[in-house]
Structure 1
Amino acid sequence: MKSVFFVMLASVVIFSGCKTLKPEPGTLLSLKIPDRFSVDAGDNDSIENWWFLFESDELTSLINHAVDHNFDLKILKTKVIQAKANLEKEEASFFPELGFSFGGQKKETRVKNTYSSPSDYDGSHSWDGSLRGAYNLDVWGQSNAGKQVEILSLKAAEQDLKFSTLELTAQIAENWIDIIAARHKKSILGNQIKINNTLLELQTLRFVNGKANALDVSQQREVLAEANSQLPLLEKQEKLLLNNLAFLSGKTDLKPVEMTTKILPDPLPLPKVGIPSDLLENRPDIQAAGMRLSSGQWEITAARADRLPSFDLTAQALFSSGKLDLLFHNWVSTLAGSIAGPILDGGLRKAEIKRLKAVADEQLTLYARTVAKAIVEVEDSLVSIDKQAAYIRLLEEELAVARLTLKDAGVQYQNGQSSYLAYLTAWTHIEQLERKLVGERAALIKERIGLYRALGWNPIPGTT
């Protein structure tokens, strides 16, 4: 027994002198990151909870409720718990395994020599127990590689949760803006319908008094009908947005969310965007992709170690006795060591390494794609914000000109120099511009929200 043990110990010492396997250097990232973004942004310092800049308790309450109850986030939180459990399982391989068994049996024998003779009974009891311990020596670092895989998988799951939380906060804020915009449009449309009703009454009265013709009345009715037809669409939009907000908040009854805000807030201040390489640290999705790439390299290391011999130590104690009180006085112990390794496997392990290398190449491409997408998202947001602001300025100028046109058309109509149609055309154009401006201003606010999301700041302090 001692000789077996010392042979095993000598083998471990010899092989442990070999270098523990480590991940091989991966392929370099075939992606050039630009030095700067093409559009300069603002100078506002970054904050984690960017929606506080809206100074809306209503929005903050909606976001807090959604973060606690959203279905997707709940799923990701359970994935984090699963990843922690997988890490605990992998860490258990570094400790010896100890088990036991205990049992007993009773044996009775009946012997009858003749039909008339009495039966002879004989019985016996036996008790058995054992303790068994086993330990795998991680000579090549296979267990350590498995542990590193699970550590990185846990960190990737935590980053997935951060990224989804960031996405959710932006979706809630955008949905909130869209609902306010829809209600603002409804308010403007309602006021326009009232004015059109008044104009119809006036034209009807003028027609009765012979100061307007039937065409003028018909044209005014057409304008009123067009305005009325827009109302159901805005009501539909508002209802669908409220339903979506309820779903994002984790509600199953789709009960409308209570919202009282009626006026669009000012756009968020432009933040400092830094340089594109900052996204590698700030974006949770890039962090997660990088961790999965590193995890793949450690999986290859574990597969390489699986092709090498493994070393195991086992110890066992067997207990057996016919009497329970003497069970632990009768025992046999064994200590064994073993070296096991593959000789022929039909190329199974080699094929597994090849597969894992292909998976690592896939993860490298996914990482490059994630980085490129993040840069494009920030670039798109910067361009969209700049052009959207310019578009709104031009719309405001157009609205100012349209109001002057309406004033001139009204004067000419009253003086009999133009038809009522010219006045109605100018008035209808103003109605459309007023509603359109609300939508475009809401779009600018959402573009600013999109920039904060694209920059990838941590959405909730301490979120993991």
Structure 2
Amino acid sequence: MHSLRLRGMNRVHFNRRILASTNAKFFMSRPPRARKSLFLLGTICLLSAHLGCSSTQYADKADEVVEAPDGSTPVDDLGADRWCSDFGQPGLDTTVERAWAGNMQLKAAWARLEQAEALAEIAEAPLWPTLAARAEAEYQDRQFGGAGISTSGGGPEPFWQISAAAAYEVDIWGRHRHRAKAADLEAEAAEAQARALAITLTSEVAEAWFDVIAQRERLELLEAQLKVSEDILAIIKQRLRRGLAGALDAAQQEANVESLRGQVSEARGLLETSQNRLAVLVGEPPEGEDFVDAATLPAVEPIADAGVPANLLERRPDVRASYLLLEAADERTAAAVADRLPRLQLTASIGFQAEQLAKLFEQLFWSIGAGISQSLFEGGRLRAEVEFSEAVAKEQLYLYADTLLEAMREVRDALVLEANQRERIESLRRELDIAESVVDLARKRYSTGAVEYLRVLTGLQELQQVQRALITARRQQLSNRISLCRALGGSWVEDVEPSIQPDD
């Protein structure tokens, strides 16, 4: 399992405590003269801090740009801390879990998380000393000594050496710490983005699932309407042969029948494409597997409008990811500022050397040192890097504000559409009752010759249209509820696990 809580910030903080303790022990263990030299170097570094510049923490300005929700509570009736499983569709929940494990886009998101975690480990590396070992054998021309006097019989002589060297940059200004913190925050953001994608995927699977059911209902309705229209056409033709109906009546009904046949063909195509879409979301080839075991659209229970959740930042992983990226941009700005300040480098080496391999370990040499470096002229590059980093942080601040605003809008829109769509469905049901009464009355009057068949045909077409509109409205109601579930987010997304482990 990818868990930044196990690998990320806690481990970095633990590592940094070890480094701080190690630095203190190293300093106190030096001889007095060495300690004085280190102290002098450190004093020079501290004095040079005045040459640096401070950076703006844009994450602290987030509340000034956009106000978070004002303390309203989430919609409890939805069970918002879990996926909306109140649809009464166990097969849907199973299909969602299959999509979590098999969807290719989600697998790619987990792979991006692995990349971010690896980059975080790379960013932590400069916090530790480097250690290198070296062994070499070479021939040196030692014909002349320091005064130009021959020291041998002439010709090159062998020279053997084995050594180990260590180097460590004292992170006085936090240059490496800021970069490591930024990389950890970016890794956390990558995990949040993967979980945000899981929410989007879940909603898409649910949409495709209900699309399949809606297309089945629509196809069954159209086939039933076609059967009724064909029966009516047969009756009109029979009446035409008996001289009780006109040719115009038959032609109008035939046109209605052909229109319905075209809609039946279209519905079959839409049903198949909906099934194909669902298969790809699950991560399977579109080979005709039937994932949907329900025949009718479920009813949606009403909910109360409780407003936008006050903890939307925690509930929505996309909002959380945007804020983490804002914090990471601040850390990178601080690192860019630290790049302008002096660097203190500690070095140490120890080894053996000899002109004869058998005597290699008889002559020991060692060295220890410290050095300070300061860039004096870079053509404005370091200053421009600070300005660039601050501009990136400023951009991320506004992107975060926009993400939070969009999240609040999505919740409010879903709640508004939820209420209005319920009224729309009730209106269509009343309209359906009226249309059925109109068709029944028109048929009776047509049978007695009181009205022309056009009145019957018009009423029948209106009835069929309302029946189809009711299916569309019920499908839209489910879509609105899915949008609300997606907009609210929730802790249920923490159950989504990476489908491919690193050892795979």
Q: What does 1:46-445 correspond to in 2, within 5 Å?
A: 46-105=79-138, 125-251=158-284, 253-258=285-290, 259-267=292-300, 270=303, 273-445=306-478
Q: Over residues 340-399 of structure 1, what are the superposed CA-to-partner deviations in whole Å (9 max), with x where a residue is unaligned?
A: 111112211111111111111101110110111111111111111111111111111111
Give, in whole Å, the separation in 2 of the partners of 1:195 and 1:132: 91
Give, in whole Å, the separation in 1 of the partners of 2:252 and 2:130: 90
SS in 2 for 1:418: coil
SS in 2 for 1:277: coil
Aligned residues: 449
Shift of 1:123: 9.1
- Identify the residue that residue 9 of structure 1 maps to in structure 2: 38
Give, in whole Å, the separation in 2 of the partners of 1:322 and 1:36: 79
Shift of 1:88: 1.5
- Identify the residue that residue 146 of structure 2 maps to in structure 1: none
Give, in whole Å, the separation in 2 of the partners of 1:359 and 1:412: 75
Shift of 1:329: 2.0
Shift of 1:276: 4.9
Q: Over residues 93-151 of structure 1, what are the superposed CA-to-partner deviations in whole Å (9 max), with x where a residue is unaligned?
A: 2221111112335799xxxxxxxxxxxxx996543222110011111111211121012
SS in 1 for 2:65: coil
CA contact (8 A) 2:352 2:361 kept: yes
SS in 1 for 2:366: strand
Structure 1 portions without partners, runs of 5+: 109-121
Give, in whole Å, the separation in 1 of the partners of 2:488 and 2:440: 47
CA contact (8 A) 1:48 1:461 kept: no
SS in 1 for 2:294: coil
CA shift in 2, pair 1:330/1:33, >3 Å: closer
CA shift in 2, pair 1:5/1:170, >3 Å: same
Give, in whole Å, the separation in 2 of the partners of 1:83 and 1:272: 39
Which residue identity does 2:423 align to in structure 1?
Answer: A
Give, in whole Å, the separation in 2 of the partners of 1:175 and 1:445: 11
Shift of 1:227: 0.7
SS in 2 for 1:316: strand
SS in 2 for 1:344: coil
SS in 2 for 1:52: coil
Shift of 1:23: 6.0
The alignment yields a C-alpha RMSD, in angstroms, of: 2.8
Q: 2:66 aligns with which of 31, 46, 66?
A: 31
SS in 2 for 1:127: strand
CA contact (8 A) 1:169 1:459 kept: no
Give, in whole Å, the separation in 1 of the partners of 2:334 and 2:238: 90
Taking only the aligned residue pairs, the percentage that are identical comes to 29
Give, in whole Å, the separation in 2 of the partners of 1:363 and 1:268: 39
TM normalised by structure 2 equals: 0.82
Give, in whole Å, the separation in 2 of the partners of 1:156 and 1:367: 12
CA contact (8 A) 2:212 2:275 kept: yes
Shift of 1:229: 1.0
Give, in whole Å, the separation in 1 of the partners of 2:78 and 2:46: 53
Which residue identity does 2:126 align to in structure 1?
Answer: S
CA shift in 2, pair 1:74/1:203, >3 Å: same
CA shift in 2, pair 1:321/1:443, >3 Å: same
Give, in whole Å, the separation in 2 of the partners of 1:338 and 1:36: 55
> Do residues 450 (structure 1) and 479 (structure 2) align?
no
Which residue identity does 1:223 align to in structure 2?
Answer: N
Give, in whole Å, the separation in 1 of the partners of 2:346 and 2:162: 21
CA shift in 2, pair 1:319/1:43, >3 Å: closer
Shift of 1:15: 6.4
Shift of 1:175: 0.9
CA contact (8 A) 1:41 1:382 kept: no
Which residue identity does 1:169 align to in structure 2?
Answer: T
Give, in whole Å, the separation in 2 of the partners of 1:45 and 1:269: 10
Which residue identity does 1:221 align to in structure 2?
Answer: E
TM normalised by structure 1 equals: 0.89
CA contact (8 A) 2:135 2:161 kept: yes
